[in-house]
């Protein structure tokens, strides 16, 4: 297991300087005479020396590593966030420890990642439990939520106003004369989150003087394509002539299902999706959808995190607690 062999000390000896000087050279400290800097650089080259980031992390108490908690990498919704996070992180020379936090493993995952002394955390989960909150606060690790908002309003977050987005999309259906619009999603989206999707649905109902009809709130097992069958049938059996569906895979699945059953989209049933991933363009008819700037949400979250982690140059900057990015609604062929 002898991996790294050449240390800063070896370089110092070979270059006939102290390790402090080598350290200065490596870290770009200006207080080094150009000639010695060059001498050290040559030895570094010759010995093929690479700084040990672990030792560096221990000594400096900064690991230049951020943790990313993600519920499902294979879900385009989340991986688009991740790409934005990764790009900005790379730009600032941070590495990313990424952990897939499926089905309630979030707490273990967070604890573990914190023990690795990450400088910051981007959290893409659905729920923020008290335990997680406590862990994060205990270690005083900066955290930014992406794609959700802290119910307690303490943690900074980046999100879009899904409430307005859904309200707008659903209202548009009502305004077309559609009487009954179903709301279809996995269980985790059928709650009263701040700026949440379900709230938007209820808001649209209210503004059109309609009551919430639980028969029109359809719950899919999860947000994946295959979960659409059961809920698709429920949609057909309902009186709805349109559906607001959370999750592109689910929406595509429902659209395909109802068409396989002989219905026409949008003539018989209009469908609106929520994330504008490439799936909404692949499926036919192409889906009208809310278009959140997923990549940007990730990128902005990471950018805020770098500030929180104290790139001292920006210490004076004001950091908003809730960063709400603009969304669009893209009308395609799945609605009239």
What residues line the site for DNA (CB under 7 A)?
Answer: 4-5, 7-9, 16-21, 23-24, 26-27, 30-33, 35-37, 49-52, 55-56, 58-61
Residue with tokens 């104290």: 310
Q: Lay out the site mask for its own copies across 169-208 (x = CB under 8 A, - = otherwise).
A: ----------------------------------------
- In the block, residue with structure tokens 């592109």: 248
Q: Produce one character per residue of 291-302: b if its CB has 16 or more CB atoms within 10 Å, e if not.
A: bbbbebbbbbbb
Q: How far is the CB of 69 from DNA (least distance, A)?
A: 22
Q: State the minimum distance, in angstroms, from the CB of residue 235 to DNA.
A: 54
List b or e across 90-120, with b for residues whose CB sees 16 or more CB atoms inside 10 angstroms: eeeebebbbbebeeeebeebbeebbeebbbb
Place of tokens 């307690």: 152
256 binding partner (options DNA, its own copies, none; Cβ < 5 to 8 Å by kind): its own copies
The nearest distance, CB 110 to DNA, in angstroms, is: 18
In the list DNA, its own copies, none, the entry touching 99 (Cβ below 5 to 8 angstroms by class) is its own copies
272 binds its own copies (CB under 8 A): no
Binding mask 10-49 for its own copies (x = CB under 8 A): --------------------------------------x-
Bond from prior residue into 285 cis (ω within 30 degrees of 0): yes
Task: Give yes or no for residue 250 binding its own copies (CB under 8 A).
Answer: no
Three-state DSSP class for 273? Answer: strand
Residue 227 CB-half CA count within 13 A: 18
Query: Which residues lie below 8 Å from residue 154, measured CB to CB, with a gap of 6+?
Result: 133
Tell me whether residue 23 or residue 139 sits nearer to its own copies (CB atom): 139
Q: Name, in order, each residue with C-beta under 8 angstroms of 210's C-beta and a sequence gap of 6 or more.
A: 174
Under rule CB under 8 A, residue 252 binds its own copies: yes
Tokens 């008819």 identify what position? 285
Whichever of 119 and 161 has its CB closer to its own copies, that residue is: 119
**Smallest gap from residue 141 Cβ to DNA (A):** 14
**In DSSP terms, which residues pair with 275 in a beta bridge?**
none
Does residue 62 belong to the site contacting its own copies (CB under 8 A)?
A: yes
Q: Which of 32, 41, 47, 114 binds its own copies (CB under 8 A)?
A: 114
For residues 216 and 254, which CB has a smaller minimum distance to its own copies in the complex? Answer: 254
Q: What token pair was written down for 295? A: 């990549």
116 binds its own copies (CB under 8 A): yes
Q: Which residues contact 90 (CB under 8 A, 6 or more apart)?
A: none
C-alpha closest to that of 18 among 29, 5, 8: 8
Asked if residue 319 binds its own copies (CB under 8 A), the reply is no
Among 7, 23, 36, 117, binds its own copies (CB under 8 A): 117
């Amino acid at each position: 297991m002898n991996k790294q062999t050449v240390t800063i000390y070896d370089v110092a000896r070979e270059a006939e300087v102290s390790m402090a000087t080598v350290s200065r050279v490596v870290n770009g400290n200006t207080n080094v005479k150009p000639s010695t800097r060059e001498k050290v650089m040559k030895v570094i080259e010759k010995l093929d020396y690479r700084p040990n980031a672990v030792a560096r992390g221990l000594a400096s108490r900064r690991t230049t590593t951020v943790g990313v908690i993600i519920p499902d990498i294979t879900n385009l919704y989340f991986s688009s966030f991740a790409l934005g996070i990764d790009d900005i992180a790379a730009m600032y020379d941070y590495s990313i420890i990424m952990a897939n936090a499926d089905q309630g493993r979030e707490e273990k995952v967070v604890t573990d990642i914190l023990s690795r002394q990450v400088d910051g955390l981007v959290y893409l989960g659905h729920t923020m439990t008290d335990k997680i909150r406590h862990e994060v606060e205990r270690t005083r690790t900066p955290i930014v939520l992406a794609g959700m908002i802290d119910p307690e309003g303490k943690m900074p977050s980046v999100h879009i106003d899904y409430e307005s987005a859904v309200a707008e999309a659903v209202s548009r259906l009502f305004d077309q004369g559609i009487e009954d619009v179903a709301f279809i999603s996995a269980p985790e989206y059928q709650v009263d989150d701040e700026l949440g999707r379900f709230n938007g649905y209820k808001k649209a109902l209210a503004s059109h003087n309609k009551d919430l009809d639980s028969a029109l709130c359809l719950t899919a097992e999860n947000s994946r394509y295959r979960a659409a069958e059961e809920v698709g049938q429920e949609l057909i059996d309902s009186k709805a002539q349109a559906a607001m569906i959370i999750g592109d895979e689910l929406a595509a699945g429902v659209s395909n299902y109802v068409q396989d059953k002989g219905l026409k989209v949008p003539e018989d049933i209009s469908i609106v999706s929520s994330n504008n991933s490439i799936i909404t363009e692949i499926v036919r008819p192409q889906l009208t959808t809310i278009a959140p700037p997923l990549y940007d949400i990730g990128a902005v979250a990471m950018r805020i995190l770098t500030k929180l982690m104290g790139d001292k140059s920006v210490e004076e900057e004001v950091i908003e607690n809730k960063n709400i990015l603009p969304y669009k609604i893209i009308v395609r062929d799945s609605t009239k």
